[in-house]
Structure 1
Amino acid sequence: MFAHGSRDPLWRAPIEAVAERIRTLAPGAAVACAYLEYTEPTLETVVAQLAGSGATAIAVWPMFLGTGRHARDDLPRLVDALRAQHPGIDFTLQAAIAEHPDVLHAMAAAALQSGHP
């Protein structure tokens, strides 16, 4: 899971909560959070750890609400560099998480539950 990062240490809590939910739903799955800036660990650090534990495939999920510059430009460059550094690993770069139909549905359902559609 890849997120922007923030100087505020509380900012990472929702991203870590999603990772924990994945671990609950898929015990044994290797799930890690990585951040672009201001927050550790970086994507490079996480990939090195996963590679060291024998990972042969890594899916990178951008935890973004849309496909802005970071998801469109910065992240693909980072993943391309990681592919070059780790040729034995199959990298998959997913679309921004909020573009997934289930996530869009969940956000709409949550907005409707607030009582103000």
Structure 2
Amino acid sequence: MLVKSLSFPSNLFPSFSASEIGTDQRWAPSKSSNSLSFSSKLQFLRKSTQNSSGVGPGDAVIIVDHGSRRKESNLMLNEFVEMFRHKTGYQIVEPAHMELAEPSIGDAFQSCVQQGAHRVIISPFFLGPGRHWSKDIPSLSAEAAKQHPGVSYIVTAPLGLHELLVDVVNDRINYCLKHVAGEADECSVCAGTGKCILNQ
């Protein structure tokens, strides 16, 4: 069968010169994200997260205290970690004890990595910048990080001089005075110890 030639209006298909095609972005090949390898995407995600000014996806927080032979003291850190996780919304938050109790900093670090962390923020639950903050915790953290190449970490400042601590200390003082005056039960810190008494 003979197919007759077809004619179209000249304005239906606009013409482009070679120079126009070379510069017009409509003719540029699309840059699909699929052209990046998985490892390249992962590296980009890590760098963009690590350059952020706060805790982000892929970050983990370890809250580390001294550790105690007294079980109740160690359990209190677990309760604080739950409070911290709930209030901040951070996905990976783990407790650790510098010594005398488990989990250790190394255990907590490993748990964070197993949950997908690629940056670990170690926050000392200490008041002042003593030897534990300047020597012991950094040393234990470095040892833990050796087991996980490619995972970065930072040891942050201790609680130190923070205005909010004034409110915390004042609240403790006033609550204990109410307790010895018979106006309040023992707080959760002193409960069952019989230590919150007015000595004569």
Calculate percent identity across the aligned residue pairs: 25
Is 1:80 the counterpart of 2:142? The answer is yes
Corresponding residue for residue 107 of structure 1: 168
The count of corresponding residues between Structure 1 and Structure 2 is 114
Deviation readout 1:1-57 (Å, 9 max, x if unpaired): 001111110012332222111121134521110011111010101111111222111
Rounded to whole Å, the distance in 1 between the matches of 2:91 and 2:65 is: 19
Q: Distance in 2 between matches of 1:77 and 1:109?
A: 34
TM-score calculated relative to the size of structure 1: 0.82
Q: Indicate the structure whose relative CO is greater, using CA pairs within 8 Å and at least 6 residues apart.
A: 1
- Please give the alpha-carbon distance, in whole angstroms, between the structure 2 residues aligned to 1:94 and 1:109: 25
1: CA distance between counterparts of 2:133 and 2:72?
A: 22
- Write out the 4+ residue segments of structure 1 that deviate beyond 4 Å after TM superposition: none
* SS, match of residue 66 in structure 1: coil
Structure with larger Rg: 2
Superposition CA RMSD, Å: 2.1
Does the alignment pair 1:96 with 2:158?
Answer: yes
Aligned to 1:20: 82
Q: Which amino acid aligns with 1:7?
A: R
More helix by share: 1
How does the TM-score come out when normalised to structure 2? 0.51
**SS of the residue 1:110 aligns to:** helix
